């Protein structure tokens, strides 16, 4: 885990990859729990036998939105920023799902601050995040994530 003294220190690191998260397993159980939470029970995510027969991936795959939803935990486990009272997810500028995440694989995030600015009593950071799959030849998700940080 990387320690950042305070959010303003990110201004000097724009465009630099400052952290890489640990690998996170994407189990079939996690995929099932996401399907149950969101109501998205498409067979390509849940039916192991059918996916083996009919899917071009020959196995079940994680929902793209499951992969995206992991950004928060991947960043939190990779970077600790001192002096914060609150962090607020403000959304995304861009998201692309560029390759599938098969059940049983592991993903991690590569994280870089793209911009840092003062907004409404907070410091807003736009993070460039690349989620990659272990052994994959290209990222599975790339995005820009907007987070506002409030200090003590």
Look at the pTM and tell me if it is higher than 0.95: no
Q: CA 147 to CA 132: how far, in whole Å?
A: 21
The tokens for 54 are 């009919």
* Rg, C-alpha atoms of the chain: 17
pLDDT at 99: 97
What's the fold here for domain 2-151? Thiol Ester Dehydrase; Chain A (3.10.129)
pLDDT at 118: 95
Per-residue pLDDT of the chain (152 residues; tens, 9 = 90+): 899 999 999 999 999 999 999 999 999 999 999 999 999 999 999 999 999 999 999 999 999 999 999 999 999 999 999 999 999 999 999 999 999 999 999 999 999 999 999 999 999 999 999 999 999 999 999 999 999 999 98
pLDDT at 15: 95
Q: CB of 28 within 8 A of CB of 51? A: no
pLDDT at 85: 94
pLDDT at 24: 98
List, as one string, the DSSP characters of the chain.
-EEES-GGGGGGGTT---EEPPPEEE-HHHHHHHHHHHT---HHHH-HHHHHHH-TTSS-B--HHHHHHTHHHHHHHHEEETTEEEEEEEEEEEEEE-S--BTTEEEEEEEEEEEEEEETTEEEEEEEEEEEETT-SS-SEEEEEEEEEEE-
Domain spans of the chain? Answer: 2-151
Q: CB of 149 within 8 A of CB of 7? A: yes
Q: CA 104 to CA 146: how far, in whole Å?
A: 29
The tokens for 134 are 């272990």
């Amino acid at each position: 885990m990387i320690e950042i003294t305070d959010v303003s220190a990110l201004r000097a690191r724009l465009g630099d990859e400052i952290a890489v998260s640990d690998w996170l397993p994407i189990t079939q159980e996690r995929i099932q729990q996401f399907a149950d939470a969101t109501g998205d029970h498409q067979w390509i995510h849940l039916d192991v036998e059918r996916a083996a027969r009919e899917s071009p991936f020959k196995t079940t795959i994680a929902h793209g939105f499951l992969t995206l939803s992991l950004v928060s935990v991947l960043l939190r486990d990779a970077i600790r920023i001192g002096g914060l009272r609150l962090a607020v997810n403000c959304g995304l500028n861009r998201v692309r799902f560029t390759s599938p995440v098969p059940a049983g694989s592991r993903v991690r995030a590569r994280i870089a601050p793209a911009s840092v600015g003062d907004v409404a009593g907070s410091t807003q950071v736009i993070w460039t995040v690349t989620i990659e799959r272990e052994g994959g030849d290209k990222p599975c998700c790339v995005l820009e994530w907007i987070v506002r940080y409030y200090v003590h």
